[in-house]
Structure 1
Amino acid sequence: MRTVGQAGGRADGLSARRAGGQTGRRADGQTGGRAGVRAVRRAGKQAVDRMLTLLPSLLTLKSVIIGAVAGLLGYWLIRRMRYKLPPGPLPIPLIGNLLQLKDCFWHEKFHEWAKKHGPVISVYMGPQRWTILNTIEVVHEALVTKANDFANRPKTPSTDVFTDGGKDIALGEFGPCWRLHRKISSNALRHYMMGEHLELRIHNAVDIVSNVLTKEKEAVDPKKYVDFLVFNIICGFCYGKSYDIDDPEFLWIMNEMDTINKTFGDGMLEDIVPLLQYFPTQSFRKLEKDLDALKMKAGYEKFREHENTFDPDNIRDFTDCLIKARKEAEEEEGGQEVVSNLTETHLVQTLMDIFFAGFDTTRFTTNWVMLHMAAFPEIQAKVHEEIDRVVGKERPPQLADRPRLSYTEAVLHESMRLGTAVPLGLIHTTTCNTTVGGCDVPKGSMVAINHWALHHDPDAWKEPNRFIPERFLNEDGKLGPKPKNWLPFSAGRRVCLGESVAKPELHLVFASLMQKFKVRMPLGIHADLSSSGNSFSGFPKPNNVLFEART
């Protein structure tokens, strides 16, 4: 997740807050910062109008372009002379390598370029240079050996929109505020998404979706049902709530999330040319509007409902944990510095991180593994045999069964490898001048981890494009040590916060669905196993499959 990811629509969100009597709630800087951008946009347009009237006739557009290109080219040459930057495909001034990345998956193209230029490559997104790491050796050097050097996140117009100015965990700046929210979230995850709590939520969600699926007699796209299942699990953890599959709020949130994923795609032009945030494209304005609406409905409204019913002696869910943390900080002597990092905006952003990051990656992965089972019936039969032998049909699978469901786990791991949920992960930035793979990486550089390349490296995986679960098993048929190139949760300082929860959650969801159903393609139709996503969200193309209840 997955996802790495608002002008006229922003006003709608602000009006809604004022109408709800919430004026002034976000005086912690978010409103002022975003309002400042809009003010600069207006001032910038006025300034441009004035400049156009005063522009000397001799200063032609042609001369401006030539001067800009020459300046950027000179800057690029000086920078390359100063640093031993990674090699890569030749960029075009101003445009960079964007034309070569048109109409393709970036992660696949980066993997192709790495074969020619080496494991560490430079790619220019317009005038902006990215460092791409394509093998496990250089990824380990960056994320583990030099973890602090690569621990930051970029600050761009789109990340500001997603995070209300960097107030979240996933995209927030590496520092005290980030550590505080990560600690609070880790403690809550351990308490509310482990053991019996996790089992109960998954069993309840699987039962609800199973009742719906058993009534489907025709082939259906699993996406709606998987989304519904995972949504109820995450909602139970975050809000203590579950939904029906035709609930208008559930359907609205799903539509907004899919729309945002589609709008964001491989990124915003404003992130490449930051000046455009003052003259935003239609896509950027739509992203702002949709994100504002989603954060209000799934974040601020839920958070305020919990504030109004909060009981310190009855902590119901993750939202209550956040409110409790703030109240405890307020009561502690000298806790004002901590409280300043626990504003409503900070807490809602943390809530959104847990909800949407956990939701997207889990639903993408579950959709992939269900499609893989329909595509490979002989492998599905082995999963059914193991579950029947270890668990039986009288009770649902439990976390305690996981060590004895090695083949089921191996199938899930192989599906996560081939169907990489977040191909380029979340972009890193360097905190200092550093090196990786013998190349210089200046402070503030954008750095992408090509997880897809790690998962398709022929030097690490025999027949990397084939679905072979046995590659994760040892000679005794048990789950072996994790292959070093299997890195769906990343590593280092910014390793996925929910990894310890996601692994047992995904296993229990998959095992529970396999215990109840056989999935298959309609007669005469082959599964399309290609991706329908982008380099930041990897999910399968729509496929209709048949769900047959197992008796």
Structure 2
Amino acid sequence: MDETKHVEESVQISSYTQVILIVLVTTFGIMMLTKKRYKLPPGPWAVPMIGNILSFVNTSFDRNLSKWHKKYGPVFSFSIGRRRMVVINEPEALNEALVKKGSDFSGRPYLYSMSIATQGNKSILMSTYGDGWKLQRKIASHALRQYLTGRQLEERVHEVLQPIIRNMLEREEAFDPHMHLSLTVFNILLGICFGTVMELDDPEFVGLINLFDEANDLFGNGFLEDFFPPLRLYPTKKFTRTMELFGKFNQFIYSRLQEQKEKFDPENVTNLTDNIILAKQEVEADTKSPVSALFTDTHASQTLGDVFGGGVDTTRIQLGWIFLVISTRPDIKEKVQEEVDRVIGDKIPGKEHRAKLVYTEAVMLEAMRLFPVAPLGVPHETLQDTTIGDYEIPAKTTVFPNQIEILHDPNLWEDPLTFKPERFLDESGTKLVAKGQGWVPFSMGHRVCLGESLARLQILYVLAGLVQKLNFSLSKDSCPDLKCNQDGLVNKPKKYKLIVTSR
């Protein structure tokens, strides 16, 4: 009797299982039949639920994208988890997406890591496209223009370079210029943002530069927590440590903002923070404006973090590449010095000299082309269904502008992996020529880098100011490695040592 009952229960359970399976299969079938089909760009086959994540085991993000570019063409797609991604590898398609259809492609993908790092996506870099973002960017752009229209920037660069030059000359042996170049950019932006400076041995400066360096090393290919939500319950040590570093940086910026607010004088606006505080007060005073509540202290702090943190990290790395080049290539260094001597003499490098520093600026442009600091830029997200060429791109697709593939494309640049400043000069070598659509180290369109003009002026003034007073050569124990050193999202030169002497 018991055995018969057991058999009946087993049959019943089996029937229930069959019913459940039929319902699940039917539901899945209906979903697949009713799901809108898109003519997506080609790409590698993806494993259901996990996508192409296994392709990135033991290899870097950029290497896979380069491999897939060769296989699938100028626009291709892949996925990580359930997130669809499209990569653009040629300038015409990038221009179509980010310029001609800029509003369609101006979103930012939600990344759990960046949401924490930017305190709820309140930075200009990561906030979604809309009225709040437009207000935030407008405030920052207006504040930055104050330093690009007058002589404040060149005076700040000159002030910062004097102790750097003295310190370099005090080094009797070859040394790694990383901290000196970092302090140069750090103090320029510290002055612009907060009106202060730090010394090379200041523990706060050393701590912040180490923070930037560690965060860059940890970030690598990104975080699994961004694509597989269950992992957020038990985050990796890498994720936890990186978020801790972002938290420390946010606290540094926020405390500086609060200090500036306490001594703020609307009749004596002297730095970027003062400009942002003033703009915030004006926005708050207009209570009828629909965006009056969209610029909080956190937004102000994150805006300063965008300008200061983003500016320090990218500019110091780019300068590291430039000084590696001129120390490895005496012919380039001598041409830059000859031009600086002829155009500037003993004066402070300034705006009145820029139009004639054509070779020096060409060296800077070529370094940005050959050694882009952010090879993949910042990912975009489509805000609605749209297209690139004949391909259909669904809403909420993550879009990567593969800038390094464009900047190294042999169809756009002759002998693309050779450092040739002359490619940016006319035949006479006396005028800069148009850079063309292929020069995209700052991206393009609605979300083009906010700090492009500031970064380019900083680098030009620092380069001119240092070669004006110093000679640079690579130490004998340093390998002149002029190959890109991209590990994930950042491309930085391998460590090297310089010998510096007075001119």
Fold conserved between structures, TM > 0.5: yes
Q: Aligned partners of 1:79 and 1:235: how far apart in 2?
A: 56
Is 1:434 aligned to residue 386 of structure 2?
A: yes
Q: Structure 2 CA distance, aligned partners of 1:114 and 1:533?
A: 17
Q: 1:333: how far off?
A: 4.8
Distance 1:330 1:424 in 2: 37
Matching of residue 148 in structure 1 with residue 103 in structure 2: yes
Counterpart secondary structure, 1:352: helix
Aligned to 2:233: 278
CA distance in 2, matches of 1:469, 1:290: 37
For residue 396 of structure 1, the aligned residue among 330, 348, 357 is 348
2:317 alignment partner, SS class: helix
- Output aligned runs, 1:165-176, within 5 Å: 165-176=120-131
Q: Take 2:272 and 2:292, find their aligned partners in 1: how far apart are those partners?
A: 18
> What's the CA shift string for 1:442-486, capped at 9, x where partnerless?
000000000100111010011111111111111121111113201
Whether 2:189 is the aligned partner of 1:234: answer yes
Deviations 1:238-281 (A, max 9, x none): 01011110011111111112222222222111111133223322
User: Is residue 73–residue 93 contact of structure 1 (8 Å, CA) maintained in 2?
Assistant: no
- Residue segments in structure 1 that go unaligned for 5+ positions in a row: 1-57, 60-65
Q: Provide the residue aligned with 2:5 in structure 1.
A: none
Question: Does residue 84 of structure 1 match 2:36?
Answer: no
Matched, 1:527 2:480: yes
Q: CA deviation at 1:194?
A: 3.7
Compared CA separation, residues 225 and 103, structure 1 to 2 (3 A) = farther
Among candidates 371, 383, 386, match of residue 339 of structure 2 = 386
**AA at the equivalent of 2:326:** M
SS in structure 1 of the partner of residue 226 of structure 2: helix
Note if contact 1:119-1:135 (Cα within 8 Å) is conserved in structure 2: yes
Contact 1:156–1:274 (CA under 8 A) maintained in structure 2 = no
Equivalent of 2:358 in 397, 403, 406: 406
- TM-score (ref. length: structure 1): 0.83
Q: Deviations over 1:377-402 (max 9, x none)?
A: 1111111111111112x222222111
Q: Distance in 1 between matches of 2:26 and 2:502?
A: 66
Q: Distance in 1 between matches of 2:218 and 2:300?
A: 26
> Structure 2 vs 1, CA of residues 80 and 283 (structure 1 numbering), >3 Å: closer, same or farther?
farther
Q: CA RMSD in A?
A: 2.5
Consecutive unaligned residues of structure 2, counting only runs of 5 or more, are 1-12, 15-20
SS in 1 for 2:270: coil
Asked if 1:261 is matched to 2:216, the reply is yes
In structure 1, which of residues 195, 199, 202 is the aligned counterpart of residue 157 of structure 2? 202
Question: Partner of 2:275 in structure 1?
Answer: 321
- The AA in structure 2 aligned to 1:459 is N
CA contact (8 A) 2:123 2:299 kept: yes
1:424 deviation in Å?
A: 0.5
| 1:134 alignment partner in structure 2 | 89
Partner of 2:284: 330
Larger radius of gyration: 2
The structural deviation recorded for 1:227 is 0.4
In 2, distance between residues paired with 1:75 and 1:230? 58
Deviation at 1:520, TM superposition (A): 1.2
Matched with 1:421 is 373
Contact 1:107 / 1:452 at 8 angstroms: preserved in 2? Answer: no
One of 448, 451, 454 as aligned partner of 2:406: 454
**Which residue matches 1:517?**
470
Distance 2:148 2:432 in 1: 23
Query: Within 1, Cα distance between the matches of 2:35 and 2:161?
Result: 55
- Report the number of matched residues: 483
1:212 to 167, 181, 187: 167
Q: Which residue of 1 aligns with 2:18?
A: none
Taking the aligned partners of 2:492 and 2:462, their CA distance within structure 1 comes to: 18
Match in the other structure for 1:34: none
Matched residue of 2:170: which SS?
coil
Q: Give yes or no for contact 2:119–2:298 (8 Å, CA) kept in 1.
A: yes
Any idea what SS the aligned residue of 1:150 has? coil
Aligned to 1:466: 418
Please give the secondary structure, in 2, of the residue aligned with 1:113.
helix
| Structure 1 position 95, deviation (Å) | 3.8
Q: Secondary structure at the match of 2:181?
A: helix
Corresponding position: 1:252 with 2:207 = yes
